[in-house]
Amino acid sequence: MKHLSGQIFSIATAEEFERTCLEVFRYQVKNCKIYRDYVSHLRVDIEAVNSSKDIPYLPISFFKSHEVLSSPKEQSVEIVFSSSGTTGMSQSRHLVTDLSIYEKSFRAAFELFYGNIEETCLLALLPSYLERDGSSLIYMVDALIAGSKHPDSGYYLHNHQDLYNKLEELNRAGQKTILIGVTYALLDFVEQHSIQFPNLTVMETGGMKGKRKEMVREELHDILKSGFGVNAIHSEYGMTELLSQGYSDGEGIFNCPPWMKIQLRDTNDPLSLVADGKTGGINVIDLANINSCSFIATQDLGRLYPDGSFEVLGRFDNADIRGCNLLVN
């Protein structure tokens, strides 16, 4: 397994991704009991799986009812990430046995899309995440704030005036700044304050968390662009069950790091994939999730483009409302 985890972050070509993907699949079928049972139930001939398009995806709901682990028995769990949810909802639990893989994944992906974190001031407006335990997003942001080494990097809860003052100060200084915020909190902020900070990167994540009525993406982004004085609103696509994130630099179009890939399944036949440009259920290949399951069928609906980018269009009916960027178009 060590050689696999070592090669995941060196993937540079489609051929290397495909080869590593198949190796991870065979490793997890052998070592992840719930995934092995699921694949067996589907009567999939493992030896006949010779393409990533043939790999079965584990429904994400299994993270609510089972321990999804591909690690050796002697490897202990270092942390348990849990999903958000309203009272009475069952939560997903992601048992992580090697935090160094998660740390390498989010650091490498962040710097791939946004450059050296040491040169960035990172501000976080994530009240609903800070007010609960088990958030993988908070773990990531904690590490990125520490890595930025900028004295002004840090969290803001409901102290919007302090955040406004800090943004004005950083704007005057010409400091490269990223503000990552849960969607409803960013809206709360711009209802009280307006700023013209064209070089600010505003990244929304997490949706409304039941705090506000859901909005179409275009309307939401127009309000935020006007409130912050920026040309685009960035977004992060991640979830409790993954160890990798996709990022959008505007218009709701996401791209993945080289070790992560999106495929779409037919909404009426979950074992079949749909062609680019059509709407389908989002399947995620996250090779960083090697100690859990790298092949996950989410409850999100999306559209995939020929260059591998994708957009999130909403969720399946009756799916729990939670996770990141689940705005309905």
CATH 3.40.50 fits 101-237, yes or no: yes
DSSP string computed for 218-238: HHHHHHHHHHHT-S--EEEE-
> How far apart are alpha carbons 66 and 3 in whole angstroms?
27
Q: What is the pLDDT of residue 208?
A: 61
Domain boundaries, the chain: 101-237
Query: What is the per-residue pLDDT for 209?
Result: 59
Please tell me whether the overall predicted TM-score, pTM, comes out greater than 0.95 for this model.
no
The pLDDT, as a whole number, for residue 294 is: 98
CB-CB contact of 20 with 278 (8 Å): no
Alpha-carbon torsion, ordered 205, 209, 215, 218, to 10 deg: 0
Separation between Cα atoms, residue 29 and residue 13, nearest integer Å: 24
3-class state of residue 84 by DSSP: coil
Backbone angles phi, psi at 38, to 5 degrees: -65, -45
Q: What's phi and psi for 56, nearest 5 deg?
A: -75, 145
**Distance from the Cα of residue 148 to its chain's centroid:** 20
Q: Going residue by residue through the chain (329 aa), what tens digit of pLDDT does each one get?
A: 667 878 999 999 999 999 999 999 999 999 999 999 999 999 999 999 999 999 999 999 999 999 999 977 668 999 999 987 654 568 999 999 999 999 999 999 999 999 999 999 999 999 878 878 899 999 999 999 999 999 999 999 889 999 999 999 999 999 999 999 999 999 999 999 999 999 999 999 977 656 667 788 899 999 999 999 999 999 999 999 999 999 999 999 999 999 999 999 999 898 899 988 899 999 999 999 999 999 999 999 999 999 999 999 988 865 444 444 444 33
Report pLDDT for 85: 62
d(CA 316, CA 117): 36
Q: Which residues 6+ apart lie within 8 Å of 180 measured at CB?
A: 122, 123, 124, 125, 126, 141, 203, 204, 205, 236
Q: DSSP secondary-structure letter at 66?
A: S
Please give the angle made by the CA atoms of 246, 304 and 50, to the nearest 5 degrees: 90
Place of tokens 């160094």: 100
Torsion 203-217-325-10 (CA) sign? negative
Q: Which residues pair with 65 in a beta bridge?
A: none
Number of Cα atoms under 13 Å in the Cβ half of residue 309: 11
